[in-house]
Chain A
Amino acid sequence: MTRLAGYRSPYPGTQPNHLHPPYVSSIKRAPTKPQIPIPSTLSEVTGPLFGPAIVAPHASDLTSGHSGEPLGERIIVSGRVLDENSRPVANTLVEIWQANAAGRYRHEWDQHPAPLDPNFSGSGQALTDGEGRYRFVTIRPGAYPWRNHHNAWRPAHIHFSVFGPAFATRLVTQMYFPGDPLIPFDPIFNCTTDQEARNRLISAFDWETTLPEQALGYRFDIILRGRDATPMEE
Protein backbone atom coordinates (compact mmCIF):
# COMPACT_ATOMS: atom_id res chain seq x y z
CA MET A 1 0.00 0.00 0.00
CA THR A 2 1.05 3.63 -0.37
CA ARG A 3 1.57 5.67 2.74
CA LEU A 4 0.76 9.33 2.77
CA ALA A 5 3.65 11.74 2.88
CA GLY A 6 3.37 13.29 6.31
CA TYR A 7 4.21 16.79 7.49
CA ARG A 8 7.55 17.19 9.16
CA SER A 9 7.93 17.89 12.85
CA PRO A 10 9.22 21.32 13.79
CA TYR A 11 12.90 21.93 14.36
CA PRO A 12 13.65 21.65 18.07
CA GLY A 13 13.17 24.90 19.92
CA THR A 14 11.38 26.72 17.11
CA GLN A 15 7.82 26.22 18.38
CA PRO A 16 6.44 27.15 21.81
CA ASN A 17 5.41 24.68 24.46
CA HIS A 18 1.84 25.12 25.56
CA LEU A 19 2.96 25.90 29.09
CA HIS A 20 5.13 29.01 29.18
CA PRO A 21 4.82 30.40 32.74
CA PRO A 22 6.09 33.92 31.94
CA TYR A 23 2.92 34.15 29.82
CA VAL A 24 0.57 33.92 32.78
CA SER A 25 -2.55 33.00 30.79
CA SER A 26 -0.89 29.74 29.75
CA ILE A 27 -0.76 28.45 33.33
CA LYS A 28 -4.45 27.56 33.65
CA ARG A 29 -4.99 26.80 29.97
CA ALA A 30 -2.05 24.64 28.89
CA PRO A 31 -2.79 20.91 29.05
CA THR A 32 -0.81 19.07 31.70
CA LYS A 33 -0.82 15.58 30.17
CA PRO A 34 1.46 14.71 27.28
CA GLN A 35 -0.10 15.08 23.86
CA ILE A 36 -0.36 11.86 21.91
CA PRO A 37 1.67 11.73 18.69
CA ILE A 38 -0.52 10.76 15.76
CA PRO A 39 0.56 9.87 12.22
CA SER A 40 -0.77 11.80 9.24
CA THR A 41 -3.91 10.30 7.76
CA LEU A 42 -6.18 11.55 5.02
CA SER A 43 -7.91 13.62 7.73
CA GLU A 44 -4.77 15.64 8.53
CA VAL A 45 -3.33 16.05 5.01
CA THR A 46 -6.58 17.51 3.74
CA GLY A 47 -8.07 20.75 5.00
CA PRO A 48 -10.32 23.64 4.09
CA LEU A 49 -9.57 25.42 0.82
CA PHE A 50 -11.01 28.81 -0.06
CA GLY A 51 -11.43 30.29 -3.50
CA PRO A 52 -11.04 33.94 -4.47
CA ALA A 53 -14.76 34.54 -4.01
CA ILE A 54 -14.41 34.29 -0.23
CA VAL A 55 -12.35 37.49 -0.05
CA ALA A 56 -14.17 40.78 -0.59
CA PRO A 57 -12.59 43.17 -3.13
CA HIS A 58 -11.10 45.61 -0.62
CA ALA A 59 -10.57 43.16 2.22
CA SER A 60 -6.78 43.53 2.04
CA ASP A 61 -6.94 47.32 2.46
CA LEU A 62 -7.68 48.03 6.12
CA THR A 63 -7.55 51.76 5.46
CA SER A 64 -10.59 51.54 3.18
CA GLY A 65 -14.24 50.90 3.82
CA HIS A 66 -14.88 53.83 6.13
CA SER A 67 -15.95 57.39 5.51
CA GLY A 68 -12.49 58.76 6.21
CA GLU A 69 -8.85 57.86 6.54
CA PRO A 70 -7.70 56.09 9.69
CA LEU A 71 -5.27 57.87 11.97
CA GLY A 72 -1.71 56.69 12.10
CA GLU A 73 1.20 55.79 9.92
CA ARG A 74 0.03 54.07 6.73
CA ILE A 75 2.03 50.94 5.94
CA ILE A 76 2.18 48.16 3.36
CA VAL A 77 2.69 44.69 4.82
CA SER A 78 3.56 42.11 2.21
CA GLY A 79 5.43 38.88 1.84
CA ARG A 80 5.19 35.32 0.68
CA VAL A 81 3.75 32.19 2.16
CA LEU A 82 6.17 29.33 1.49
CA ASP A 83 6.50 25.83 2.83
CA GLU A 84 9.62 24.41 4.46
CA ASN A 85 10.64 23.03 1.07
CA SER A 86 10.73 26.65 -0.26
CA ARG A 87 7.67 26.08 -2.42
CA PRO A 88 5.12 28.88 -2.63
CA VAL A 89 1.75 28.21 -1.03
CA ALA A 90 -0.65 29.54 -3.64
CA ASN A 91 -4.30 30.52 -3.18
CA THR A 92 -4.28 30.20 0.57
CA LEU A 93 -6.27 32.38 2.92
CA VAL A 94 -4.38 34.89 5.08
CA GLU A 95 -6.28 36.78 7.79
CA ILE A 96 -4.94 39.61 9.91
CA TRP A 97 -6.22 41.61 12.86
CA GLN A 98 -4.63 44.37 14.91
CA ALA A 99 -4.98 47.33 17.23
CA ASN A 100 -5.38 50.85 15.86
CA ALA A 101 -2.62 53.46 15.89
CA ALA A 102 -3.38 54.30 19.52
CA GLY A 103 -3.05 50.68 20.64
CA ARG A 104 -6.78 49.96 20.98
CA TYR A 105 -8.66 47.01 19.51
CA ARG A 106 -12.24 47.37 18.33
CA HIS A 107 -13.37 44.76 20.85
CA GLU A 108 -15.63 45.26 23.86
CA TRP A 109 -13.15 43.57 26.19
CA ASP A 110 -10.34 45.96 25.36
CA GLN A 111 -10.38 48.36 28.31
CA HIS A 112 -7.25 50.29 27.41
CA PRO A 113 -8.31 53.96 27.68
CA ALA A 114 -6.95 54.90 24.28
CA PRO A 115 -9.31 56.24 21.63
CA LEU A 116 -11.10 54.09 19.10
CA ASP A 117 -10.77 55.26 15.53
CA PRO A 118 -14.10 55.45 13.69
CA ASN A 119 -12.20 54.90 10.45
CA PHE A 120 -10.39 51.74 11.46
CA SER A 121 -11.82 48.30 12.21
CA GLY A 122 -8.57 46.36 12.28
CA SER A 123 -9.21 43.17 10.33
CA GLY A 124 -8.42 42.10 6.79
CA GLN A 125 -8.15 39.10 4.51
CA ALA A 126 -6.21 38.17 1.41
CA LEU A 127 -5.66 35.13 -0.76
CA THR A 128 -2.09 34.45 -1.84
CA ASP A 129 -1.36 34.56 -5.55
CA GLY A 130 0.26 31.82 -7.60
CA GLU A 131 3.67 32.70 -6.16
CA GLY A 132 2.42 32.69 -2.58
CA ARG A 133 2.44 36.48 -2.34
CA TYR A 134 0.08 38.52 -0.21
CA ARG A 135 -0.18 42.25 0.41
CA PHE A 136 -2.08 44.33 2.97
CA VAL A 137 -2.48 48.09 3.28
CA THR A 138 -3.00 49.10 6.89
CA ILE A 139 -1.70 51.42 9.60
CA ARG A 140 1.05 50.71 12.06
CA PRO A 141 -0.60 49.49 15.27
CA GLY A 142 0.26 51.05 18.61
CA ALA A 143 1.75 49.30 21.62
CA TYR A 144 -0.68 48.67 24.46
CA PRO A 145 -0.55 47.71 28.13
CA TRP A 146 -1.70 44.35 29.47
CA ARG A 147 -1.81 42.85 32.91
CA ASN A 148 0.57 39.94 32.54
CA HIS A 149 3.07 41.51 34.94
CA HIS A 150 3.89 44.93 36.38
CA ASN A 151 4.12 47.60 33.67
CA ALA A 152 3.64 45.04 30.92
CA TRP A 153 3.30 46.40 27.38
CA ARG A 154 2.85 44.40 24.21
CA PRO A 155 5.14 45.48 21.39
CA ALA A 156 3.32 46.63 18.27
CA HIS A 157 2.20 43.54 16.37
CA ILE A 158 -0.19 42.27 13.73
CA HIS A 159 -1.91 38.90 14.19
CA PHE A 160 -1.70 36.55 11.20
CA SER A 161 -3.80 33.45 10.53
CA VAL A 162 -2.86 31.18 7.61
CA PHE A 163 -4.43 27.92 6.47
CA GLY A 164 -2.10 26.29 3.95
CA PRO A 165 -3.12 23.17 2.04
CA ALA A 166 -4.00 20.92 4.98
CA PHE A 167 -5.37 20.74 8.49
CA ALA A 168 -1.77 19.98 9.50
CA THR A 169 -0.44 23.28 8.13
CA ARG A 170 -2.75 25.65 10.02
CA LEU A 171 -0.77 28.47 11.63
CA VAL A 172 -1.59 31.51 13.73
CA THR A 173 1.27 33.86 14.52
CA GLN A 174 2.16 37.51 15.15
CA MET A 175 4.32 39.88 13.17
CA TYR A 176 6.45 42.48 14.97
CA PHE A 177 8.23 45.63 13.80
CA PRO A 178 12.01 46.09 13.58
CA GLY A 179 13.58 48.22 16.28
CA ASP A 180 10.65 48.04 18.69
CA PRO A 181 12.20 48.50 22.17
CA LEU A 182 9.45 46.43 23.80
CA ILE A 183 10.25 43.22 21.93
CA PRO A 184 12.97 41.87 24.27
CA PHE A 185 10.59 42.15 27.25
CA ASP A 186 7.59 40.41 25.71
CA PRO A 187 6.90 36.91 27.07
CA ILE A 188 4.79 36.02 24.03
CA PHE A 189 7.57 36.94 21.63
CA ASN A 190 10.05 35.12 23.88
CA CYS A 191 8.13 31.84 23.80
CA THR A 192 10.75 29.77 21.98
CA THR A 193 14.21 28.69 23.12
CA ASP A 194 15.53 29.27 19.59
CA GLN A 195 16.35 32.96 19.35
CA GLU A 196 16.66 32.91 15.57
CA ALA A 197 13.19 31.44 15.27
CA ARG A 198 11.65 34.22 17.30
CA ASN A 199 13.61 36.89 15.46
CA ARG A 200 11.97 35.68 12.24
CA LEU A 201 8.71 37.05 13.68
CA ILE A 202 10.12 40.56 13.22
CA SER A 203 9.29 42.02 9.84
CA ALA A 204 11.88 43.85 7.76
CA PHE A 205 11.57 47.40 6.54
CA ASP A 206 11.37 47.16 2.76
CA TRP A 207 12.24 49.96 0.32
CA GLU A 208 10.98 47.80 -2.53
CA THR A 209 7.39 47.97 -1.35
CA THR A 210 7.55 51.45 0.20
CA LEU A 211 5.35 53.82 -1.79
CA PRO A 212 6.69 57.36 -2.25
CA GLU A 213 4.67 59.87 -0.24
CA GLN A 214 2.21 57.12 0.62
CA ALA A 215 3.30 54.32 2.92
CA LEU A 216 6.29 52.53 4.42
CA GLY A 217 6.71 48.90 3.40
CA TYR A 218 7.34 45.98 5.75
CA ARG A 219 8.09 42.49 4.57
CA PHE A 220 7.01 39.38 6.45
CA ASP A 221 7.40 35.93 4.93
CA ILE A 222 5.51 33.06 6.52
CA ILE A 223 6.76 29.48 6.38
CA LEU A 224 4.29 26.63 6.73
CA ARG A 225 5.26 23.07 7.49
CA GLY A 226 6.67 21.06 4.62
CA ARG A 227 5.97 17.49 3.69
CA ASP A 228 8.36 14.60 3.53
CA ALA A 229 9.74 14.43 0.03
CA THR A 230 8.11 11.29 -1.29
CA PRO A 231 5.48 8.92 -0.03
CA MET A 232 6.96 5.65 1.15
CA GLU A 233 5.93 2.58 -0.79
CA GLU A 234 5.42 -0.55 1.22
Chain B
Amino acid sequence: MSLQATTSQTVGPFFRIGFEWLHRDNLAGEGVSGERVTIQGRVFDGDGIPVPDAMLEIWQANAHGKYAHPEDTQDKPLEPGFTGYGRVPVAADGVFRFVTIKPGPVPGPEGGEQAPHLLVSVFMRGLLRRLVTRIYFPDDPRNAADFALNLVEPERRFTLIAKKIVGGPGTLEWNVVLQGPDETVFFDLGL
Protein backbone atom coordinates (compact mmCIF):
# COMPACT_ATOMS: atom_id res chain seq x y z
CA MET B 1 0.00 0.00 0.00
CA SER B 2 1.28 3.44 -0.81
CA LEU B 3 1.51 6.25 1.67
CA GLN B 4 -0.38 9.52 1.39
CA ALA B 5 1.40 12.84 1.20
CA THR B 6 1.38 14.85 4.41
CA THR B 7 -1.29 17.54 4.60
CA SER B 8 -0.03 21.02 3.80
CA GLN B 9 -0.40 23.74 6.43
CA THR B 10 0.00 27.49 6.32
CA VAL B 11 3.34 29.15 7.02
CA GLY B 12 1.44 31.43 9.40
CA PRO B 13 2.42 35.01 10.22
CA PHE B 14 5.87 34.38 11.71
CA PHE B 15 7.58 32.32 9.00
CA ARG B 16 10.39 34.84 8.59
CA ILE B 17 12.21 33.43 11.61
CA GLY B 18 12.36 30.06 9.86
CA PHE B 19 13.08 31.23 6.33
CA GLU B 20 15.34 34.27 6.56
CA TRP B 21 18.59 32.32 6.94
CA LEU B 22 18.16 31.25 3.29
CA HIS B 23 16.90 34.50 1.75
CA ARG B 24 18.37 34.80 -1.73
CA ASP B 25 17.32 37.76 -3.78
CA ASN B 26 20.29 37.71 -6.11
CA LEU B 27 20.35 34.49 -8.10
CA ALA B 28 23.00 35.64 -10.55
CA GLY B 29 26.38 36.03 -8.95
CA GLU B 30 29.46 37.41 -10.66
CA GLY B 31 30.59 35.43 -13.65
CA VAL B 32 27.21 33.82 -14.28
CA SER B 33 26.39 34.28 -17.95
CA GLY B 34 23.09 35.61 -19.24
CA GLU B 35 21.00 38.73 -19.51
CA ARG B 36 20.51 40.21 -16.05
CA VAL B 37 17.04 41.25 -15.04
CA THR B 38 15.57 42.74 -11.91
CA ILE B 39 12.03 41.59 -11.27
CA GLN B 40 9.99 43.57 -8.78
CA GLY B 41 6.41 43.79 -7.75
CA ARG B 42 3.87 43.47 -5.02
CA VAL B 43 1.38 40.93 -3.75
CA PHE B 44 -2.22 42.19 -3.51
CA ASP B 45 -5.01 40.66 -1.43
CA GLY B 46 -8.72 40.57 -2.22
CA ASP B 47 -9.16 44.18 -1.08
CA GLY B 48 -6.32 45.33 -3.33
CA ILE B 49 -4.14 45.96 -0.29
CA PRO B 50 -0.45 45.03 -0.61
CA VAL B 51 0.41 41.96 1.45
CA PRO B 52 3.42 42.65 3.70
CA ASP B 53 3.94 39.08 4.85
CA ALA B 54 4.50 36.84 1.84
CA MET B 55 7.50 34.92 0.57
CA LEU B 56 8.27 33.84 -2.97
CA GLU B 57 10.46 30.95 -4.00
CA ILE B 58 11.92 30.94 -7.49
CA TRP B 59 13.13 27.98 -9.54
CA GLN B 60 14.65 28.42 -12.97
CA ALA B 61 17.10 27.12 -15.56
CA ASN B 62 20.34 28.88 -16.42
CA ALA B 63 20.89 30.99 -19.54
CA HIS B 64 21.49 27.84 -21.59
CA GLY B 65 18.17 26.30 -20.54
CA LYS B 66 19.75 23.79 -18.15
CA TYR B 67 18.54 23.05 -14.63
CA ALA B 68 21.14 22.43 -11.91
CA HIS B 69 19.58 19.06 -11.12
CA PRO B 70 20.53 15.47 -12.01
CA GLU B 71 17.21 14.87 -13.73
CA ASP B 72 18.17 17.40 -16.40
CA THR B 73 20.23 15.23 -18.75
CA GLN B 74 20.30 17.72 -21.61
CA ASP B 75 23.66 18.21 -23.26
CA LYS B 76 23.90 21.83 -22.14
CA PRO B 77 26.45 23.48 -19.84
CA LEU B 78 25.91 24.12 -16.16
CA GLU B 79 26.93 27.48 -14.77
CA PRO B 80 29.21 27.24 -11.75
CA GLY B 81 27.70 29.21 -8.91
CA PHE B 82 24.21 29.29 -10.39
CA THR B 83 21.66 27.11 -8.61
CA GLY B 84 18.48 28.63 -10.03
CA TYR B 85 16.92 28.91 -6.57
CA GLY B 86 15.72 32.13 -5.02
CA ARG B 87 13.88 32.89 -1.80
CA VAL B 88 12.51 36.39 -1.84
CA PRO B 89 10.65 37.99 1.06
CA VAL B 90 8.08 40.70 0.61
CA ALA B 91 9.21 43.73 2.60
CA ALA B 92 7.01 45.55 5.11
CA ASP B 93 6.06 48.05 2.38
CA GLY B 94 4.69 45.16 0.32
CA VAL B 95 7.42 45.19 -2.32
CA PHE B 96 9.57 42.26 -3.42
CA ARG B 97 12.56 42.50 -5.71
CA PHE B 98 15.12 40.04 -7.00
CA VAL B 99 17.92 39.91 -9.54
CA THR B 100 18.45 36.98 -11.84
CA ILE B 101 19.30 36.08 -15.42
CA LYS B 102 16.80 35.34 -18.14
CA PRO B 103 16.79 31.56 -18.47
CA GLY B 104 17.12 29.74 -21.75
CA PRO B 105 14.29 27.62 -23.13
CA VAL B 106 13.74 24.15 -21.65
CA PRO B 107 11.95 21.12 -23.11
CA GLY B 108 8.16 21.04 -23.11
CA PRO B 109 5.93 18.13 -22.10
CA GLU B 110 5.33 16.93 -25.68
CA GLY B 111 8.70 17.76 -27.17
CA GLY B 112 9.48 21.19 -28.49
CA GLU B 113 10.58 24.01 -26.24
CA GLN B 114 8.99 26.05 -23.51
CA ALA B 115 9.45 29.80 -23.63
CA PRO B 116 11.89 31.12 -21.01
CA HIS B 117 10.12 31.18 -17.67
CA LEU B 118 10.61 31.11 -13.91
CA LEU B 119 8.58 28.91 -11.59
CA VAL B 120 7.25 30.65 -8.49
CA SER B 121 5.83 29.32 -5.23
CA VAL B 122 3.93 31.84 -3.11
CA PHE B 123 3.67 31.36 0.65
CA MET B 124 1.87 33.52 3.19
CA ARG B 125 -0.44 33.53 6.18
CA GLY B 126 -3.91 32.65 4.94
CA LEU B 127 -2.68 30.14 2.36
CA LEU B 128 -3.07 26.61 3.67
CA ARG B 129 -0.92 25.47 0.76
CA ARG B 130 1.38 27.32 -1.56
CA LEU B 131 0.29 28.93 -4.79
CA VAL B 132 2.22 28.01 -7.94
CA THR B 133 2.62 30.31 -10.91
CA ARG B 134 5.11 31.24 -13.64
CA ILE B 135 6.83 34.40 -14.82
CA TYR B 136 7.42 34.85 -18.55
CA PHE B 137 9.37 37.60 -20.29
CA PRO B 138 7.90 40.43 -22.38
CA ASP B 139 8.33 40.53 -26.14
CA ASP B 140 9.70 37.02 -26.36
CA PRO B 141 8.44 35.49 -29.62
CA ARG B 142 8.56 32.03 -28.04
CA ASN B 143 5.69 32.96 -25.69
CA ALA B 144 3.18 32.50 -28.53
CA ALA B 145 3.80 28.74 -28.76
CA ASP B 146 4.43 28.06 -25.07
CA PHE B 147 2.32 25.13 -23.90
CA ALA B 148 1.62 26.51 -20.43
CA LEU B 149 0.58 29.96 -21.66
CA ASN B 150 -1.68 28.20 -24.14
CA LEU B 151 -3.43 26.38 -21.28
CA VAL B 152 -4.64 29.81 -20.12
CA GLU B 153 -7.51 31.86 -21.54
CA PRO B 154 -5.97 34.54 -23.78
CA GLU B 155 -7.36 37.41 -21.70
CA ARG B 156 -5.62 36.15 -18.54
CA ARG B 157 -2.17 35.40 -20.01
CA PHE B 158 -0.94 38.91 -19.26
CA THR B 159 -0.85 38.03 -15.56
CA LEU B 160 2.01 35.62 -16.24
CA ILE B 161 4.14 37.98 -18.36
CA ALA B 162 6.35 40.51 -16.61
CA LYS B 163 6.12 44.09 -17.88
CA LYS B 164 8.92 46.43 -18.86
CA ILE B 165 9.22 49.44 -16.62
CA VAL B 166 9.63 52.70 -18.47
CA GLY B 167 12.95 54.29 -17.55
CA GLY B 168 14.14 51.18 -15.74
CA PRO B 169 16.44 49.32 -18.10
CA GLY B 170 16.70 45.67 -17.19
CA THR B 171 13.87 45.98 -14.69
CA LEU B 172 10.58 44.15 -15.04
CA GLU B 173 7.40 44.43 -13.01
CA TRP B 174 5.35 41.38 -12.11
CA ASN B 175 2.67 41.32 -9.43
CA VAL B 176 0.79 38.60 -7.62
CA VAL B 177 -2.93 39.45 -7.52
CA LEU B 178 -4.75 37.00 -5.28
CA GLN B 179 -8.35 37.87 -6.20
CA GLY B 180 -10.40 40.00 -8.57
CA PRO B 181 -10.62 40.68 -12.29
CA ASP B 182 -6.83 40.77 -12.71
CA GLU B 183 -6.29 37.69 -10.54
CA THR B 184 -2.98 36.03 -11.33
CA VAL B 185 -3.18 32.68 -13.06
CA PHE B 186 -2.18 29.92 -10.65
CA PHE B 187 -1.40 26.41 -11.76
CA ASP B 188 -2.55 23.19 -10.16
CA LEU B 189 0.45 20.93 -9.72
CA GLY B 190 -1.52 18.76 -7.32
CA LEU B 191 0.14 20.30 -4.31
| A contact residues vs B (CB 8 Å cutoff) | 1, 3-4, 7-11, 14-18, 20, 23, 25-49, 54, 82-86, 95-97, 99, 105-107, 109-110, 121-123, 125, 159, 161, 165-174, 188, 191-192, 197-198, 200-201, 222-226
Q: Write the nearest CB–CB distance from B121 to chain A, whole angstroms.
A: 6
> Bound state CA distance, A99 and B18, in angstroms?
11
For window 171-191 of chain B, which residues contact chain A by CB distance below 8 Å? Answer: 178-180, 183-191
> Bound state CA distance, A166 and B85, in angstroms?
12
Q: Looking at the complex, which one of B15, B57, B109, B187 makes contact with A97 (CB distance below 8 Å)?
A: B15
Residues in B neighbouring A197, C-beta threshold 8 A: 4, 7
Identify the closest chain B residue to A109 (Cβ).
B13
Q: Looking at the complex, which one of A8, A106, A172 makes contact with B8 (CB distance below 8 Å)?
A: A172
Contact indicator A46/B71 (Cβ below 8 Å):
yes
Residues in B neighbouring A4, C-beta threshold 8 A: 109
16 more contacts with CB within 8 A, not counting A95-B18, A107-B14, A223-B5, are A1-B111, A16-B129, A23-B126, A27-B46, A28-B45, A32-B46, A36-B151, A36-B152, A40-B189, A97-B14, A110-B14, A159-B11, A159-B18, A166-B71, A167-B189, A172-B129
> Bound state CA distance, A165 and B148, in angstroms?
22
Range for the number of chain B residues in contact with chain A = 35 or more
| B contact residues vs A (CB 8 Å cutoff) | 2-19, 21-22, 45-47, 51, 53, 57, 59, 61, 67-69, 71-72, 83-85, 106-111, 114, 117, 119, 121, 123-132, 147-148, 151-152, 178-180, 183-191
Residues in B neighbouring A224, C-beta threshold 8 A: 5-6
9 contacts between A and B (CB under 8 A): A7-B190, A31-B178, A48-B85, A97-B14, A106-B17, A121-B17, A168-B191, A171-B191, A173-B9
Contact indicator A105/B106 (Cβ below 8 Å):
no
> Bound state CA distance, A118 and B42, in angstroms?
34
> Bound state CA distance, A201 and B6, in angstroms?
7
